[in-house]
Structure 1
């Protein structure tokens, strides 16, 4: 759920006082299945995540408070702020049905809690520490933060367009890169270790005109895992390494039209990518020595918005993800590919007809390739009257039709198929309000 925040350029702070501001992303709605069973939040997408279309997503609230301990008077004066972002979401059905007493149906998490100081020592030099959304743009209609989605706990320093960070990551007890087993035979993992992720980024801008510039974004990561040892000092997992290189280019074509192409390659333990996972979520199995030498992953994303006229906008994307573990097993690889486009027909200032079509594939190992085609029609009320892809709030009615191929149906490759049984056709009817400010 960390990927559900809106694009940064679409958010605006609401000042509560001279030192405190508030911003928020949220969505709430209802859904109905034709046979009356509970369908709210049951996605049609093949890996269960939002890639492939997001209209079936469940309820979610993400408020952010920003407190300015020292508010900068000018662009070059020193400022200090604290940022806190809790999040609330329903693990099943509707958010309003649950309280903290109904665990595990209600999820409450702290997504951000960090301090940042800007213009320290010299103008343009900033420092931060804590837990934060450490990432860039997303493909909003696929709810996918790509390229540098490195949310985590740690700290960093930034000088103008040059950025460095050190993050620490660990994982659940069923995650081999992070946990090992002792020799007691009780199958209880007890040798936890944490990964160090060193990140370096640089953005170069090519000015076209005032307030508009093409951008080139470079990314490098180094991942280090120490050996995992029990309390007695016995090594149960060897040390391991990984690295990532990426490049992203954006063409700003005027009047809100842009195209972004990003390519990222990860090696070793930094091969997380399948299903939209972060690079530190290692994919696959280790080699016979317990290391991920030779494992790799590739991510390619193209994302664009084309404002055709005052009557029509198109927002589209293509996402390719492939990964391979370090073992020789035929099952130790994965492949995803998705393309989608959402059209915005501005019939009236306050009434937009949104339509979306997506095609998504999934292949696990040498198995058959599953696929789904999704078609959505979404009449939408837009109180602001702004003719824009990014304006909110949206009051939506929507219907989504999903058409699975035989491989996806037989393998139950989506939460919808797992809940409603094998079928080639899926229907989803819902209503939702989505907002951000």
Structure 2
């Protein structure tokens, strides 16, 4: 080893340190002896103090301002992350555990196995000061092999992310992305959905963060084409140049264009807390098209369609222990009332989704103190389709769910979950028997509700915290349906026959962020 490059050693284990230590000591002694600062600091042999020197001119100037520390450079490299859960469960009869919710979004404890894998590459480019991220997300949904082992094997897989995003290219705080992206904001954790903005399109977007990092503006536009007769119809036609056989032709093939805008601002409160406010909007557009009717050779013209979303969010937060409360209000009209992949099954008289609407109010929060944690979520939703009569697809529904945690140790404890779910639907036709379960003949309504309680002992390998993952759980859920809830299921479905339902099983859930800078 080159002794010049060997800058540190241990004298007890390296004999080379001894001569070098003597040389270094001599050099330091000489430097101290000849250094004026050190010499002047030694006591002199003359007791008379030296005359006071006039102040140097340089001392009359204010000290230079401290040099600001450079901003941290984003890390470059490959990163792996993902979100997922694996569930093994049974009911009280040793049948498979099933999701027993009767509302659109219920408890995530009895959801099925879901695996999301994120692979990302991040690079910081010194020549431009920009940072890029290549993100690919694959999602595998149930059923898994143990319930789907027929050969040849198949798998429910989809690509949710495949995009490239860059930040700070040319303009500090500006980011641009292009590709396929799951585009969303804050979520209602216990209900496992994003109440305000939740889109998945092929397109691109732009975002600008103000220097304060408390305000940003974002816009995006993208397309999708659901597999629905409202968007796609394939018919057989004679091949080109009178060749034998038949060819498939997409007679109807139209894709939806979705654009969105978002503005977010955070007002600081105290040292770490604050209040975040969000304004949000969407515009949905669908071109006209031609579709063949049930009568061969007869086609119909489908008109242009459109829709819109307006919404807002206010979220006070403490900045410590994940304390926060999200309040969301969202209104969707016309085509947008059916969601990004939905289609009107009961359109308006003119064949469009005009008149459909959805109003959604959602709350989600978390509070932790000492060994206690409390998560809560709920929503109230009202949906009306585009057809005028009040029918089965028109409904009002809601859920309120709470999950308190007691941490017996930093690594584990017990949670209890309780929820109440209810809905009211239209009947087609009205009930012939006024005494039928859940019937309200005067208004042609059907009402249903259920109550659920759950006991969930858990282990947190990452430590105490309601959002810490991975989390191992033993789950026991008990659900009680009323007669109206049982009537929502088809004849001979066990859910239509049982008032009490059990869900007993093991569950593990993880959430690992991939790229550290985004």
In structure 1, distance between residues paired with 2:300 and 2:129: 51
Correspondent of 1:427 among 490, 499, 502? 502
Q: Give 5+ residue unaligned stretches, structure 1.
A: 1-16, 273-277
Q: Is 1:328 matched with 2:388?
A: yes
Aligned to 1:349: 410
- Partner of residue 212, structure 2: none
Number of the residue aligned with 1:387: 464
Cα drift, residue 302 of structure 1:
0.9
Distance in 2 (CA, whole Å) between partners of 1:226 and 1:393 is: 45
Alpha-carbon shift at residue 152 of structure 1 (Å): 2.0
Q: 2: CA distance between counterparts of 1:306 and 1:400?
A: 23
Question: Counterparts in 2 of 1:196-207, with a 5 A limit?
Answer: 196-207=257-268
Q: 1:114 aligns with which of 154, 163, 168?
A: 163
- Once the two structures are TM-superposed, the CA of residue 311 in structure 1 deviates from its matched residue by 1.6
SS in 1 for 2:493: helix
Please state how far the C-alpha of 1:100 moved relative to its aligned partner.
9.1
Cα pair distance change 1:345/1:128, threshold 3 Å: same
Question: Larger % of strand: which?
Answer: 1
The answer (yes or no) to whether the contact 2:226–2:341 under 8 Å persists in 1 is no
User: What does residue 11 of structure 1 align with?
Assistant: none
Q: Is the 8 A contact 1:59 1:95 kept in 2?
A: no
Match of 2:101 among 30, 41, 45: 45
Mark the CA change 1:35 to 1:215 in structure 2 (over 3 Å): closer, same or farther. same
TM-score for the superposition, normalised by structure 2: 0.71
Query: How much has 1:59 moved relative to structure 2?
Result: 1.7
The worse-fitting range, judged by mean Cα deviation, of 209-218 and 241-250 is 209-218
Q: Could you tell me how far 1:151 is from its partner in structure 2?
A: 2.0
Question: 124, 128, 132: which is aligned to 1:71?
Answer: 124
Matched, 1:318 2:374: no
Preserved contact between residue 181 and residue 236 of structure 1 (Cα < 8 Å): no
The residue correspondences of 1:83-162 to structure 2 (distance < 5 A) are 83-91=135-143, 94-95=144-145, 98=148, 101=151, 106-160=155-209, 161-162=216-217
Structure 1 Cα separation of the partners of residues 162 and 404 of structure 2: 36
Q: Give the 3 Å change call, closer, same or farther, for CA 181–268 of structure 1 in structure 2.
A: farther
2-structure distance, mates of 1:189, 1:103 = 29
* Closer, same or farther: CA 127–164 of 1 in aligned 2, 3 Å: same
- Say whether residues 1:208 and 2:269 are aligned partners: yes
TM-score (norm 1): 0.84
Aligned-partner Cα distance in 2 for 1:162–1:208: 22
In 2, Cα distance between equivalents of 1:390 and 1:353: 14
Q: Matches of 2:467 and 2:329 in 1, distance apart? A: 25
For the 8 Å contact 1:335–1:364, the answer to whether it is kept is yes
Q: CA deviation at 1:411?
A: 2.2
Matches within 5 A, 1:363-382: 363-365=424-426, 366-382=444-460
1:362 corresponds, among 416, 423, 440, to 423
In the alignment, structure 1 residue 262 sits paired with structure 2 residue 328: yes
Aligned counterparts of 2:234 and 2:424: Cα–Cα separation in 1: 31
State the Cα distance separating 1:425 from its structure 2 match. Answer: 0.8
Shift of 1:96: 5.1
1:220 to 281, 290, 305: 281
**What is the CA distance between 1:135 and its match in structure 2?**
0.3
Report if aligned partners of 2:329, 2:362 keep a CA contact under 8 Å in 1.
yes
2:355 equivalent in structure 1: 294
Q: CA deviation at 1:412?
A: 1.5
Structure 2 counterparts to residues 159-174 of structure 1, below 5 A: 159-160=208-209, 161-174=216-229
Structure 1: distance between partners of 2:328 and 2:468: 25
Distance in 2 between residues matched to 1:291 and 1:378, nearest whole Å: 47
CA distance in 1, matches of 2:447, 2:224: 32
Contact kept? 1:182, 1:191, Cα under 8 Å: no
Runs of 4+ in structure 1 deviating by more than 4 angstroms, as ranges, are 94-104, 179-184, 230-235
Structure 2 unmatched runs, 5+: 1-74, 210-215, 238-248, 427-443, 513-518
Partner residue, 1:58: 112
Structure 1 residues 408 and 183, CA gap change in structure 2 (3 angstroms): farther
User: Which residue of structure 2 aligns with residue 338 of structure 1?
Assistant: 399
1:428 is displaced (CA, Å) by 0.9
**Equivalent residue number for residue 193 of structure 1:** 254
Secondary structure of the residue aligned to 2:183 is coil
CA RMSD of aligned residues (A): 2.9
